[in-house]
């Protein structure tokens, strides 16, 4: 009797364990799916343009793939029609500037490398049959190595990196496949025209269906960053002079953390600027809008954010200023902080609206006057001492 | 006589002007060429691995293009051999980690999208002839839109962005071209094997000829950044307490600017970390080296750099501390600064050598003791006042 039940347990044991394991796996994957779904929802809510962009990409690819479905179109291009699909997939980026930049890079690089490739191919064909592949190999090696090195130039990397890559690619393909196929010119022509069609489809859909302008994003980002610094300074004076016992919740402190994202904004601003330079006139932005100026403002904003980060350290510092001194400096420090905040917020507003800031200078003057007061106090104290 | 000479001048005028213009153009382009050459020389001298990388790329592409030159190899693959060249050009990156990451992304994405594409193609072929292109178009639209949205997930973007792009690309190509060509499986097989060959060539050359390890670069970068902060603090005490009249040259100040590059190191560190994660065991780094820890150290280093940026502001500040106070705090501040510098430099050295830092804690204690002195002075002063 005992043995039988033990046996039963033995059989039930692994089964129960397997069932438990399976249930745990199910639970785990269920929670994983829920996590991913909520993350996706958050991504979509944070910036609904992401959903629109995804639909745009799907639409553009489906549109270009019509080439294959319709026989009349297909006859013209044959297998090269593939390049239109490839171009759309690779070129279609989130912002208009990025798409235009990639499209132009791809188009120009394909054209120039194609011309050069055909030239190299002709040149090699003048030599003997045995020399031809050696010559072509040499061309490919020299060009690939040279252009790869050019990609290290910071200015080239920022704006033409993709073009240089495509340049190597096209040159190698034409040079190398040219050795087989005497219809090089024909292939080059077909490929270029399909790439043009694919690129044009991507650019047109990107511009005319809910466009995302990198320039506008840059404009807003720089203004928002200024605003964030202002928000910190607005709250800082009050927060600093609260007695340690009185600090109830961390809510207020959290609202002061907004400036943290400013600290690492450099790479985002630089890439947005590089995209914005490709963009045509749109909204209130001219074709040659002074985009570099935004980088300068951005750099100054970060300078300011570094100081604010140091200020923020005082909120949680172990070493607290003695109460007597705090009382002395409270008024002028709070004033200084709030006046600086007003100046920053005014600048952010003026920038957003593209107008001359009217009262920012007054706020800065007020802040400077407030800043001089503790110094005077200090001098008094020193005089009293010595 | 006069008229003739005027006439001659009239003829000579444009000629001379054209000559002058041509000479100016020549001069200008000459100086441009010299500029570019010196920049290229500097790029090569700063990091000679760049030159080696360029030669490696040239070599890899030439090697793979042999496929076309040798008939026996070409017979096997035909036009698909093109994909080997494309793969090498696109996948070959500066560091081993980046190359491996791109190669694996490309390989896995091509394989999985290929399988899915063939499946979708089969599924669509069960329907009527008129429905087939509509069904295929629908598949392409849904998949392209969904995967494009997945690319917005930050974790996916960091490591699998390229793979997702290739996934869309391959799926669309197979789905769409499959409508034409019934030898889809054959094409998929050929393309996959040429991509494997191209990827393998790129990875092998990247690893076995003067490899550039992203992990090693990250390791050195983080240690160097710590060291730079140490160098600043080493010089800061001395520089700050020099009388304004005595500051002779800007040389010393320039040597204190090294820390500036630390402020914006975040994106470099993150991309190096993402590459390093793909790398196999090398040198003193295991396969699952704790790369995330470097990011944590990097973040703390930047925190420190922000404070140092604020400190640096005092060197050029208009508002100078009164001399009496400066004299009082000079000793302890210099001590504090030099002890912190010693601690940072010790940490950097220990990190580079991968050993436990031995005396860093002592230096930090010394620095804390020195930091407490001015406070005691301050309290004394306050007591004297009240």
**pLDDT tens digits, one per residue of A142-191:** 999 999 999 999 989 989 999 999 999 989 888 877 655 566 677 777 78
Of B154, B176, B208, the one marking the end of a domain is B208
Alpha-carbon distance values, A72 to A66, A202, A296, B129 (Å):
11, 22, 54, 18
pTM over 0.80: yes
Cβ B177–A325 below 8 Å, yes or no?
A: no
B343 within a domain of the structure (yes/no): yes
Per-residue pLDDT of chain B (386 residues; tens, 9 = 90+): 454 555 555 556 778 888 989 999 999 999 999 999 999 999 999 999 999 999 999 999 998 887 777 666 666 666 677 888 889 999 999 999 999 999 999 999 999 998 898 888 888 888 887 888 888 889 999 999 999 999 999 989 989 999 999 999 989 888 877 655 566 777 777 788 888 889 999 999 999 999 999 999 999 999 999 999 998 888 887 777 775 555 544 555 666 788 888 998 999 999 999 999 999 888 888 878 889 999 999 999 998 998 888 888 877 766 666 777 777 778 888 888 888 899 999 999 999 988 888 887 888 888 888 877 766 555 555 444 44
End-to-end CA distance of chain B: 101
**Domain shared by B176 and B224, yes or no:** no
Please name the member of B65, B86, B180 whose beta carbon is closest to the beta carbon of A169. Answer: B86
Higher pLDDT, B3 or A208: A208
Contact of A269 with A294, CB cutoff 8 Å: yes
Which residue of B lies nearest to A267 if distances are taken between CA atoms?
A: B267
Which residue of A lies nearest to B309 if distances are taken between CA atoms?
A: A306
Contact of A266 with B264, CB cutoff 8 Å: yes
A6 within a domain of the structure (yes/no): no
Q: What's the pLDDT at A244?
A: 54
Average pLDDT over residues A64-70: 76
A10 within a domain of the structure (yes/no): no
B29 within a domain of the structure (yes/no): no
**Domain shared by A218 and A178, yes or no:** no
Please name the member of B44, B142, B324 whose beta carbon is closest to the beta carbon of A382. Answer: B324
- Mutate which of A310, A318, A374, A383 to test chain B, going by most B C-beta atoms within 10 A? A310
**CB-CB neighbors (< 8 A) of B261 in chain A:** none
* Structure confidence at residue A1 as a pLDDT band (50, 70, 90): very low
Alpha-carbon distance values, B267 to A272, B100, B292 (Å):
15, 20, 14
**Domain shared by B150 and B233, yes or no:** no
- Mutate which of A149, A156, A183, A320 to test chain B, going by most B C-beta atoms within 10 A? A149
Number of other CB atoms surrounding residue B286 within 10 Å: 11
Which residue of B lies nearest to A180 if distances are taken between CA atoms?
A: B68
Least confident of A49-58, A289-298, B71-80: B71-80
Cβ B58–A169 below 8 Å, yes or no?
A: no
The DSSP element (H or E) to which B335 belongs, if any, is helix B323-353
Q: What's the pLDDT at B307?
A: 87
A66 within a domain of the structure (yes/no): yes
Q: How far apart are CA A242 and CA B243, in angstroms?
A: 38
Of B208, B226, B246, the one marking the end of a domain is B208
pLDDT in tens, A326-366: 777 788 888 888 888 998 999 999 999 888 888 878 888 88
**Domain shared by B134 and B201, yes or no:** yes
**Domain shared by A97 and A115, yes or no:** yes
DSSP B213-241: -HHHHHHHHHHHHHHHHHHHHHHHHHHHT
Cβ B378–A319 below 8 Å, yes or no?
A: no
pLDDT in tens, A77-134: 666 778 888 899 999 999 999 999 999 999 999 999 988 988 888 888 888 878 888 8
**Domain shared by B72 and B141, yes or no:** yes
Q: How far apart are CA B323 and CA B19, in angstroms?
A: 65
pLDDT in tens, A23-40: 999 999 999 999 999 999
Residue B135's domain spans which residues?
A: 51-208
Which residue of B lies nearest to A148 if distances are taken between CA atoms?
A: B54
Q: Min CA distance, B18 vs chain A (Å)?
A: 30
Residue A139 predicted with pLDDT over 60: yes
**Domain shared by B164 and B310, yes or no:** no
ipTM metric: 0.85
At B165, list the tokens: 């792009």
**CB-CB neighbors (< 8 A) of A310 in chain B:** 306-307, 309-310
Domain count, chain A: 2
Residue A219 predicted with pLDDT over 70: yes
DSSP A41-84: HHHHHH-THHHHHHHHHHHHHHHHTHHHH-HHHHHHHGGGHHHH
**Domain shared by A203 and A229, yes or no:** no
B35 within a domain of the structure (yes/no): no
Q: What's the pLDDT at A311?
A: 84
Alpha helices in chain A (DSSP H): 2-46, 49-64, 66-69, 71-77, 81-91, 96-125, 131-150, 154-178, 184-208, 214-240, 251-255, 260-263, 266-276, 291-313, 323-353, 360-385
**Domain shared by B129 and B241, yes or no:** no
CA angle A315, A317, A320 (to 5 degrees): 95
Please name the member of B145, B263, B307 whose beta carbon is closest to the beta carbon of A55. Answer: B145
Q: Min CA distance, B109 vs chain A (Å)?
A: 14
B43 within a domain of the structure (yes/no): no
A76 within a domain of the structure (yes/no): yes
Q: What's the pLDDT at B74?
A: 60
Q: Min CA distance, B72 vs chain A (Å)?
A: 13
**CB-CB neighbors (< 8 A) of A266 in chain B:** 264, 267
Cβ B43–A152 below 8 Å, yes or no?
A: yes
pLDDT in tens, A248-261: 445 556 667 888 88
**Domain shared by A200 and A228, yes or no:** no
Q: What mean pLDDT, rounded, does chain A reach?
A: 83
Q: Is A318 strand, coil or helix?
A: coil
**Domain shared by B225 and B148, yes or no:** no
Cβ B58–A148 below 8 Å, yes or no?
A: yes
**CB-CB neighbors (< 8 A) of A179 in chain B:** 68-69
- Mutate which of B69, B153, B195 to test chain A, going by most A C-beta atoms within 10 A? B69
**Domain shared by B187 and B272, yes or no:** no
Q: What's the pLDDT at A55?
A: 94
- Mutate which of A44, A52, A67, A69 to test chain B, going by most B C-beta atoms within 10 A? A69
Of B189, B208, B227, the one marking the end of a domain is B208
Q: Please tell me the number of Cα atoms within 13 Å of B139 on its side-chain side.
A: 24
Contacts across the A-B interface (CB distance below 8 Å): 187
Q: How far apart are CA A184 and CA A197, in angstroms?
A: 20
């Amino acid at each position: 009797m005992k043995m039988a039940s033990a046996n039963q347990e033995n059989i039930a044991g692994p089964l129960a364990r397997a069932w438990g394991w399976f249930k745990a796996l199910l639970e785990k994957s269920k929670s994983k799916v829920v996590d991913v779904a909520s993350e996706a929802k958050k991504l979509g809510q944070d910036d609904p343009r992401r959903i629109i962009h995804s639909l745009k990409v799907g639409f553009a690819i489906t549109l270009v793939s019509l080439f294959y479905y319709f026989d009349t179109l297909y006859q013209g291009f044959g297998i090269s029609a593939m390049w239109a699909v490839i171009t759309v997939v690779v070129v279609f980026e989130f912002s208009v500037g990025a798409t235009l930049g990639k499209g132009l890079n791809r188009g120009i690089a394909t054209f120039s490398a194609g011309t050069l490739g055909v030239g190299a191919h002709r040149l090699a064909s003048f030599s003997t049959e045995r020399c031809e592949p050696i010559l072509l190999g040499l061309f490919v090696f020299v060009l690939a190595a040279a252009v790869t090195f050019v990609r290290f130039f910071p200015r080239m990397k920022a704006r033409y990196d993709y073009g240089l890559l495509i340049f190597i690619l096209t040159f190698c393909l034409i040079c190398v496949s040219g050795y087989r196929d005497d219809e090089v010119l024909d292939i080059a022509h077909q490929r270029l025209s399909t790439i043009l069609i694919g690129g044009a489809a991507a650019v047109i859909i990107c511009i005319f269906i809910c466009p995302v302008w990198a320039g506008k994003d840059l404009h807003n980002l720089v203004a928002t960053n200024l605003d964030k610094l202002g928000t910190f300074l607005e709250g800082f004076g009050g927060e600093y002079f609260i007695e340690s016992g009185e600090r109830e919740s961390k809510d207020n402190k959290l609202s002061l953390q907004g400036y943290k994202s400013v600290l690492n904004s450099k790479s985002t601003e630089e890439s947005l600027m590089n995209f914005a330079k490709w963009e045509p006139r749109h909204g209130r932005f001219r074709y040659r809008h002074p985009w570099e100026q935004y980088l300068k403002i951005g750099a100054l904003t970060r300078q300011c954010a570094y100081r604010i980060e140091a200020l923020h350290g005082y909120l949680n510092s172990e070493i607290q200023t003695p109460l007597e001194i705090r009382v002395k400096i409270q008024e002028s420090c709070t004033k200084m902080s709030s006046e600086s905040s007003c100046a920053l917020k005014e600048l952010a507003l003026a920038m957003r609206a593209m107008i001359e800031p009217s009262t920012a200078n007054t706020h800065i003057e007020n802040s400077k006057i407030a800043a001089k007061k503790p110094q005077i106090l200090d001098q008094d104290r020193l005089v009293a001492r010595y």
